[in-house]
Amino acid sequence: MYAAPLDATPILEVDENGIEAMLHGRYEQSAVVYSAEAGWYEIGLRGLLRRTGWIGPSDAGTFRSLEQLYLNSTTFVTAAWDKQLMRDAAVSPSEFVPSSADVFPSATQKKDGLSFMPADEPNGASVLETRTIDGLLWVKSELQQRNCDDSPEQIASGWLPAHSPSGHLNLWFFAGGC
């Protein structure tokens, strides 16, 4: 692990438990990548403060972009989402899908320290398309009320940014399915 994307920079001492990672398959997890530069990846490091380090091409495994993960998974909206859908990617707030704030109340519930959407809010989202505009990833989603026994019921569709203003993901996916 390096302090910058160059072999000649100082090496950071980090064990595998110090790397910020997220589950993306039933038994797969990967380091969270914040940026990429010439085959180098800036990954998150665990701790009280947000820190990052760089891994080089010889140390990196397979890179999976957020777009790839979204398009190949059953996704859901997270508690970071502001409950607003837009008619198109990167449009002004005046272009919200009508009544999206009414359809999705802002309350979230906590269970075992994790935030999740209440049962009457969407708990599934099919990703239909992604676009990167001015460096920001936008996701066209069909939001659904889903349970494992029935076909999902479509609630609304529209665009939302992949990240909230605070940098948290607005969508993630079920690692193991139902």
Query: pLDDT value at position 130?
Result: 92
Residue listed under structure tokens 């009414």: 102
Q: What is the mean pLDDT of the chain?
A: 75
Please tell me the pTM assigned to this model. 0.70
Query: pLDDT value at position 129?
Result: 92
Query: pLDDT value at position 131?
Result: 92
Query: pLDDT value at position 122?
Result: 55
- Give pLDDT < 50 ranges for the chain: 99-103, 105-120
* Of the candidates 88, 86, 119, 115, the residue with the CA atom closest to the CA atom of residue 101: 86
The length of the chain, given as a count of residues: 178
Question: Could you give the C-alpha distances from 56 to 5, 37, 53, 79, in angstroms and in order?
Answer: 7, 10, 10, 33
Query: pLDDT value at position 116?
Result: 44
Tally Cβ neighbours within 10 Å of residue 99: 10
Query: pLDDT value at position 13?
Result: 75
* Of the candidates 162, 142, 3, the residue with the CA atom closest to the CA atom of residue 67: 162
Q: Is 153 helix (H, G, I), strand (E, B) or coil?
A: strand
